[in-house]
Every structure is written in C-alpha cells, then in structure tokens.
C-alpha cells in the first residue's frame, strides 16, 4: 500500500514533465517578425509609493502620460497587503484620490486597479503569512475592503494572493464573493500562477492545471499570468515555455464568456533559484508571447502583456518593449520619470 501512495503522484509528475518537454522541443522561440498582437491594452505593476505616499500632481500626471504613450491601458499600483483579519491596514486615502485625479486628468482612457492581496498562511516555514482563505469571516472582510476601494472610484481590483493551490475551492469562493463587489462596470483582475497540463501532486501551488484555469477564468474579467519565476535554466527553454503559456492560457480563457488574458513578462534582475537574470528577460518573454500567439485562434481573449515591474524597467528594456512588442521606436522621455522613462 505504501508503494501505491507514491506511484500515482510520481507517474503524474512524469506525465507533466514529458508533455511539457515535448511541447518545448517543438515550439518556435525566436520569431521577431512583425505581428498583430499588440492592441495597446498592456499593463504594468507599479510600486506602493504611488498610493501610500504623497507625490506632486505633475509627477503623477507625467507618469500616466508616459505610460499612455507606450500603450499601457492598465496600471496596478501596489496597496498595503491585507492583514491577518482580512483588513487593509491604515493607508493614505487622500493620496489614493489624488492619484486617481491625476490619472483622469492626464489620460482618461487609463484603468487604475489597486493591487491587493498578500501571502497565504502556511507558505514557507520562515514566513507565517496572513491570509487564510478557509476563514469565511476573513474573506468577507476582504470583500468589504475591496468594495470600499471601488467606492473611491477605482476601475477595479487586481488581486494577487500567493501561493494558491491548484483546485482551491476557498480561492474560488473568494472570487465569487468579489464579483458583485465590482459593480456593473468594475474589473476583477487576478494574478495567476503558471499554467501546465496538470498540477504537480507534490507541489500543488507551482502550476495551475487547465481545469483550474478554466474555473478561475469563468469568475473574473481579467487573468494576468505570472510568466516568470519558472526556474528554467536556459533562455531557449524559457522562451518556449512562455510560448506554451501564451497559447494555453488564451485558449482556456476562450471557453469562458468574459475573461481576457494578459501575459506577465519580467523586467527585474534579481538572481535566485527561480529567476535567472540572463534567462528570464523581457526580450525572451516577449519572444515567447509572440511565438505562442502565432496561429492561435482565440478570438478576443488575449489583451496584452503586463510588465513586472514598472520600478525595475530601465531604458534599454523600454526600448526592447517598443521595438519587439509595439513595432515602434521608443517615444521621447520629455515628461517621464524613474518608473516611466523610456
């Protein structure tokens, strides 16, 4: 009996690895031809200072004008994470309103979705975490906090809780509760863990299966795939995996009526086990997205790419983004700043 307990997980893991390796071997990876996939409906994650510390109006307006010139429609400024009670700790509501006013004044088209969430209880031995998705009262408080943010005038909420196990009913319950809190026109956006044909039995939060992606997509308006921190050792493998991610996520979301997909690509240089600075680059990520969308018949499912993150994107990376993704020369930086300079 003991043998049988590990035989099934091992066999499933080997199946995932074999299927993924087969796809990676066959997928194109270096396609730099012109493409039609950019719709100037891209996104960027912004650092917490924009919602939590006062900033001059002209600086905030310059940020939005610079991002608008680069085809950025959605911005996800970070807000203080939920605490163990499911509430947002004290934060600067006045600055939030000033940030929204600057956005509306500089470019009415932009959509501002505060980035909320936090670390799940039990993640890593060294980090206790705060969010217990199994706690109904905590989920209710989180929903109430998000409803309050919508009352301030935000266009929606960008939810990032990590890590979430594949198949988590508690996470789905939270999404169901958040949906009506968005109102008629609000956008419920989520950061999504990397997809795979099936989850790994011994690491259920490393991949989300196609089945779980479909269930999440049915409950949200926007699913933003975190296409980084893969641990892959070479640039070629990473490009091919992002190609798979782009094709799989957009195809899965096409089965649901409302969800749109953005693919998150990295611009940060941190080095570690899960992120190799010379492998997981913006260029490799964009090439992977382009190759994955070639020949993909997913209608209007795909919306754009999301840069992680605004505060780590340097001049050379903005140029790469403009050239490879938008097919344009970088715009001038006359009114840019540290997060939005080209």
**Is 167 among the domain residues?**
yes
Name every residue whose Cβ is closer than 8 Å to that of residue 38 and which is 6 or more positions away in sequence.
71, 304, 325, 326, 327
Taking alpha carbons only, the member of 93, 115, 91 closest to residue 43 is: 115
Q: Name the H helices within 134-258.
A: 136-151, 169-181, 210-217, 235-253
Mean pLDDT lowest for which of 26-30, 93-97, 166-170, 189-193? 26-30
Range of the domain at 296: 2-325
| Lowest mean pLDDT, pick from 50-54, 112-116, 193-197 | 193-197
Number of domain units in the chain = 1
pLDDT beyond 90 at 281: yes
Selection from 87, 95, 17, 85 nearest residue 57 by Cα: 95
Q: Which residue has the tokens 């994107």?
A: 313
Question: Does residue 333 form part of some domain?
Answer: no
Query: Could you report the per-residue pLDDT of 227-244, keeping only the tens digit for each?
Result: 999 999 999 999 999 999
- Which residue carries 């490009």 as its tokens? 239
In a domain, 81, yes or no: yes
Task: State which H helix or E strand residue 73 sits in.
Answer: strand 72-77
Q: Is the confidence at residue 16, as pLDDT, over 90?
A: no
Report yes or no on 340 lying in a domain.
no
Residues 127-169: tens digit of each pLDDT: 667 899 999 999 999 999 999 999 999 999 999 999 999 999 9
Q: Let me know if residue 339 belongs to a domain.
A: no
Do the domain assignments include residue 146?
yes
Which tens digit of pLDDT belongs to each residue from 92-116?
999 999 999 999 999 999 999 999 9
The Cα–Cα gap between 67 and 43 comes to 9
Asked if residue 335 is part of any domain, the answer here is: no
Residue 71's domain is classified under what CATH number? Answer: 3.20.20.80
Look at residue 106 and tell me if it is in a domain: yes
CA 226 to chain centre: 5
* Residue 86: closest CA among 116, 112, 126: 116
**pLDDT of 330 strictly over 50:** yes
């Amino acid at each position: 009996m003991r043998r049988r307990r590990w035989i099934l997980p091992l066999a499933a893991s080997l199946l995932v690895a074999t299927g993924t390796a087969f796809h990676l071997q066959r997928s194109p990876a270096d396609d730099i031809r012109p493409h039609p996939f950019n719709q100037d409906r891209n996104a960027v994650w912004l650092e917490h200072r924009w919602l939590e510390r006062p900033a001059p109006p002209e600086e905030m307006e310059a940020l939005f004008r610079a991002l608008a010139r680069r085809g950025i429609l959605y911005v996800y400024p970070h807000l203080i994470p939920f605490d163990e009670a499911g509430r947002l700790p004290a934060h600067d509501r006045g600055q939030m309103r000033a940030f929204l006013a600057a956005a509306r004044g500089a470019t009415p088209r932009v959509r501002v979705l505060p980035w909320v969430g936090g670390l799940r209880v039990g993640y890593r031995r060294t980090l206790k975490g705060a969010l217990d998705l199994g706690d109904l009262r905590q989920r209710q408080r989180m929903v109430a906090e998000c409803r309050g943010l919508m009352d301030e005038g935000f266009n929606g909420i960008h939810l990032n809780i990590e890590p979430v196990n594949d198949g988590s009913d508690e996470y789905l319950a939270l999404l169901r509760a958040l949906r009506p809190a968005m109102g008629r026109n609000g956008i419920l956006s989520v950061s999504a863990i990397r997809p795979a044909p099936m989850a790994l039995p011994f690491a259920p939060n490393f991949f989300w299966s196609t089945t779980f992606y479909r269930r999440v997509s049915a409950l949200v308006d926007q699913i933003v795939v975190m296409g980084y921190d893969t641990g892959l050792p070479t640039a070629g493998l990473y490009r091919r995996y992002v190609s798979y991610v782009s094709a799989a996520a957009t195809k899965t979301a096409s089965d649901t009526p409302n969800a749109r997909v953005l693919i998150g690509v990295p611009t940060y240089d941190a080095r570690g086990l899960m992120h190799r600075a010379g492998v997981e680059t913006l260029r490799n990520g964009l090439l992977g997205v382009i190759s994955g969308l070639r020949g993909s018949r997913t209608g209007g499912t795909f919306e754009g790419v999301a840069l992680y993150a605004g505060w780590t994107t340097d001049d050379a990376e903005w140029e790469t983004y403009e050239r490879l993704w938008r097919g344009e020369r970088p715009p001038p930086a006359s009114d840019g700043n540290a997060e939005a300079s080209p």
